[in-house]
Amino acid sequence: MVFMLYLNLNYIYKGRRTDVNTWSIIVSVVSAVFVLNVGLAAIMVFFERRSPSSTWAWLFVLFFVPVLGFFVYLIFGRNTGKQKAFGPKILKDEETLYEFVKDRDELRAEVGKQLFSNDGIHLSKSYRHLLDFATLNLNSGSWMTYHNTMKRFTDGNRKFEALIDDIRSAKDFIHMEYYIFRGDSLGKTIVEELAKKAAEGVEVRLMYDYMGNITLPKHFFDKLRDAGGKVSAFIPAFFIRLNYRNHRKIAVIDGKIGYVGGFNIGNEYLGKVKRFGYWRDTHARFEGEVVDQLQIRFMMDWNFCSEDKFFVTDFYYPKKDIKNYLPAQIVSSGPDTKWRNVRNSYFKMINEAEKSIYIETPYFSPDDGIQEALKVAALSGIDVRVIIPANPDHFFVYWASMSYLGELLEAGVRCYQYENGFIHSKTVFVDGIVGTIGTANMDIRSFGLNFEVNSFIFDEEQVSLLERDFMNDLSQCTEITYEAYLKRGKLFKFRESVARLISPML
């Protein structure tokens, strides 16, 4: 490789005077790049535990784009510092869970029954084939809760109206964690409302992702800080941490109300940005026992990124008086969890399906396991449907998504493009009896790189309403038929192939 580059350079400079020192520098630089690429390749193959597809994708980048690929790898590809960066958080998170559970005898008994006996999970007969799923996430501190209420939101205006009303009604504390917090009119409104509550003596803590808000002015939260509120950025973007972003979206009010779902804070989520048009998303508002799990997740994340720590007390986890029966779990995953909990939950849902699987996601680049599970489900006669945006916000991801959908179409999966604006909803519904609403996309990045959080609902009434929303979305979609997919142009096929090749780069 070095010799060939040398010959090419000699040809370019033929007829020109080039002294020995200049040629030595050129050859040295080329040789150094070659050695660095070989070294990085060796590290990836022998020292980092990557999937084969991820390894081959990075090798492709390193060897065919040697200089740029090297810097891309430094920023996005390095996994070697993951344990060092997030190992302490995993240990502290375990301590927080222990502190919460140890003095709650009733909860310890319930978790014990769920862990050692499916008979301890009090679900109706409709859910019996999903009992293993309910136990799956106990390792991440997510036990089944039973007494909850839930309200769903598919429109940003209604979601934020409800959130602002709950903020105004707060008496003790407001904790919020968002991936994106825009400095536009909605962002300013939220900050103003939080500042008012902080001035009244309500404890306000707001956390945002550093990279997701890198262009946000540093003074944007001054009004909130001046009123006594506390603001923290989730890990600055230094190499290893640039790749691991906090994609979670959580709001907890007084320990009694909790929000989780796909909406960030910004005008586009209200449908006010022309680029996207109407913004279709899904968010859930909970009251009841499951709110404690959202509060625990916020506490863990806050104590990791802020010097102003707080701890488990009854103030943050008040007793709940909800009697309504609605089984639910909050499941988190990311660099701070041992297992890929949300991904594994998706996988379990798909494998346990008997009648139907409905998926909405803005980014569809699943790993091999999820992809094969969906194909097997469709080939088994299960009604599998997937909705993605027709107006994507990232075309590279769209081309990759189409390559995966092409395989599913051949297996009998029905695939659709949402035409009425942009669909950002991250939902999966199975058999009309279990569903999930959260922050995790159906893609490899959400499965292994980002900090994610999803709610899982085991309630036929609520899931039927969510599936009705899905069916309403289908009326705003264009179906991608297998025949139409086969007629795509050569340029599209090329883009699709390149995007598919690089998509597994973890």
Catalytic positions, written as ranges: 247, 249, 254, 424, 426, 431
Neighbours of 160 (CB within 10 A): 20
Render the burial of 55-88: b for 16+ CB within 10 Å, e for the rest.
bebbbebbeeebeebbeebeeebbbeebeebbee
Query: Residue 281: enclosing H or E segment and its boundaries?
Result: strand 279-288
Could you give the CA distance from residue 417 to residue 499 in angstroms, rounded to a whole number?
Answer: 19
By CB atoms closer than 10 A (0-12, 13-18, 19+), residue 28 is exposed
Question: How far is residue 85 from each of residues 47, 231, 307, 336, measured CA to CA in Å?
Answer: 17, 22, 16, 9
- Rounded to 10 deg, the angle between the 20-46 and 2-12 helix axes is 150
Question: How far is residue 326 from each of residues 121, 122, 146, 186, 403, measured CA to CA in Å?
Answer: 13, 11, 5, 32, 38
**Residue 381 tokens, joined:** 């006669």
Could you give the CA distance from residue 188 to residue 168 in angstroms, rounded to a whole number?
Answer: 15
Question: How far is residue 336 from each of residues 50, 261, 281, 292, 312, measured CA to CA in Å?
Answer: 18, 20, 26, 19, 19
- Residue pair 270/424 in contact (Cβ under 8 Å)? The answer is no
- Give phi and psi for 13, each to the nearest 5: -95, 10
**Residue 19 tokens, joined:** 């002294």
3-class DSSP state of 324: coil
Could you give the CA distance from residue 285 to residue 107 in angstroms, rounded to a whole number?
Answer: 23
- Residue pair 111/137 in contact (Cβ under 8 Å)? The answer is no
- Residue pair 177/214 in contact (Cβ under 8 Å)? The answer is no
Could you give the CA distance from residue 312 to residue 438 in angstroms, rounded to a whole number?
Answer: 25
